[in-house]
A and B are shown apart, each in its own frame.
Chain A
């Protein structure tokens, strides 16, 4: 790593605009993550249009700050009201809520904040040192590899983020169909534009993301009008900052979970929920008194919370180096990257190295700030999370509309957002995951271009061409592994979730 570039990155980072953007991202991320029903993905999607007019470092650092802070924020409602704010906080609820019932809610929040900060920092360091090395691999890519990379991206998200493999694949293919809208990249022929100029440039990514993740989310929240409002947290009881003696006992758990989380994060598609469950399971396996888990064991909070934040930095590695987002949040972050005119791959670590390193260092700073603010303002964040959704939903809807419009000053983009909002709602209500749609939309043109160019390069022997290239072979193996991953995941989850349930029955 070039120290001169790090110096330039630090200069870019330590400006008022960037630091204010990171601070805003941290606060917004914690609040969004803590509110049951809202998610970091939604927050990132809503704020991408705002970053369009910002300096790349400020905009991207703000989005990554929201990403990591929302993961911590998810633990607040998991600990206090047994309702995980994010799927990644589900494991935290087991012991966190038991601690709240014992009057140790404040301490559980403190442990969660410290674990999240440590996990995020560890994964940020892994990102800083591993990503540039991996990015060099992309230098050897040609059309065939880009096609297989796109297929790999689609396979992992369809097989791991979805409700069922079939529905996941269908969602991905819907995204692929959407990606064909607009002028054909190689022949210049307009496809599925139905004579409208707005569709000739294709479906605009950001309004589609806002529709899929934000509008559809508000539509789901609107269902509460029928059922009444959800549970809200009461005041936090007990001290937030744990004693030094207690912290010392958590250090091995935090270190172990940091490693687990960062590793799981690098595996595209595994995500924060897998990281937290594996972290929880391992903490229990290494514990002397396993029976304490499920009854308010602080390690049961530290382990998943450290791991799920450690996933965030790890998940940025395949995103920044290969352009493969392994989750809905990183898919939306990719949208933020593209809005700034930056392409994932080796260029991020060569031509745009100063910006990229500034964003990574900003990510590290965001994790520190998140820990400090979470410890200092735990009671305040809990209060903010009691704001009813009937006040939040109208604000989010207006931001959906103005954000979609602002990207191109185009009303047509608002209609794209509305169509994708309806699509997202219908998909989610019928059990289809929405993240593969985004992947299909992002990777569709890459796949088509790569395939068509590789067919030309293959000169008639397509199979031979693909099998003769080492990186292509590696990608083919990865695709096959990703296809079998759900079987492995089912076994792993079954093993982890059975035990806490058994314990609950005995309490």
Chain B
């Protein structure tokens, strides 16, 4: 009985996820289509055709999510996973996405810091933050990662590949 209830709840969650994804696709297609009104002549035809196709597919996904008794599965009947061997289709609940979103926010902060304090200081700050978040409490290991990674990047990108890594507005020449 409990397992039936849980299965129904899981199916409804999947349906819900497909419905939300479909709605987001429809909204995205409409917004982008509105932007395409700025384009002139021939330049507008292809993007509009592609957006109309996306709109139709999004609507089909929403309708299917409302109708189908079970979540969308692989067309070949195998368990749902993508090409990177991770379980997909798991609900985007708050507990599931909390850590990935925290990681993403840290990467966003890192990218923003690059322009302010430059590559190496922001990399040290980012690594310190994310290693702590990942529950790395071994100070020697953490210091080793920070030091070795910075040295490898310096050698590979600056010394070998001549990449001008950002110096930042605080420490850079301008």
Contact = CB atoms under 8 A, between A and B. Distances in A.
Nearest to B106: A397
A397 B103 contact: yes
Interface in B135-151: 135-136, 141, 145, 149
B83 A189 contact: no
A50 interface: yes
A225 B132 CA distance: 12
Contacts of A353: none
Of listed B47, B141, B157, residue having the most chain A CB within 10 A: B47
A252 to B, nearest CB: 29
Interface in A187-215: 187, 189, 191-192, 213, 215
Contact of A406 (B74, B95, B97, B161): B161
Contacts of A226: 95-96, 98-99
A232 interface: no
Contacts of B100: 219-220, 222-223, 425
A184 B89 contact: no
A165 B166 contact: no
Interface in A388-419: 390-391, 393-395, 397-398, 400-402, 405-406, 409, 411, 414-415, 418
Contacts of B89: 163, 429-431
Contacts of B149: 395, 398
Interface extent on A, as a size class? 35 or more
Interface string A134-165: 00000000000000000000000001011111
Interface of B is mostly: helix
Contacts of B86: 37, 217, 220, 428
Of listed B42, B102, B135, residue having the most chain A CB within 10 A: B42
B161 A429 contact: no
Interface in A257-293: 271
Nearest to A219: B100
Given A401-B111, A428-B86, A177 B39 contact: no
A191 B37 CA distance: 10
Interface stretch (A61-69, A110-118, A167-175, A470-478): A167-175
A490 B88 contact: no
A239 to B, nearest CB: 29
Contacts of B102: 222
Contacts of A50: 156, 161
Contacts of B40: 187, 189
B46 A398 contact: no
Interface stretch (A119-127, A314-322, A432-440): A432-440
B166 A163 contact: no
Nearest to B46: A448
A180 B104 contact: no
Contacts of B35: 192
Given A222-B99, A429-B88, A434-B82, A186 B47 contact: no
Contacts of B25: 170, 174
Contact of B114 (A161, A169, A401, A426): A401
Nearest to B56: A173
B82 A452 contact: no
Nearest to A160: B76
Contacts of B165: 402, 405
A210 B40 CA distance: 33
A140 B48 CA distance: 31
B78 interface: yes
29 contacts: A36-B85, A37-B86, A39-B84, A39-B85, A163-B82, A166-B60, A166-B64, A167-B61, A170-B61, A177-B50, A226-B99, A390-B134, A394-B126, A397-B103, A401-B114, A402-B157, A411-B111, A414-B114, A418-B111, A422-B104, A425-B104, A428-B82, A431-B17, A431-B71, A431-B80, A431-B82, A448-B46, A489-B75, A489-B76
Interface of B: 17-18, 20-21, 25, 32, 35-36, 39-43, 46-47, 50-51, 53-54, 57-58, 60-61, 64, 71-78, 80-86, 88-90, 92, 95-100, 102-104, 107-108, 110-111, 114-115, 119, 123, 126-127, 130-131, 133-136, 141, 145, 149, 153, 156-157, 160-166
5 tightest Cβ-Cβ pairs between the two chains A and B: A53-B161, A219-B100, A431-B89, A189-B43, A390-B134
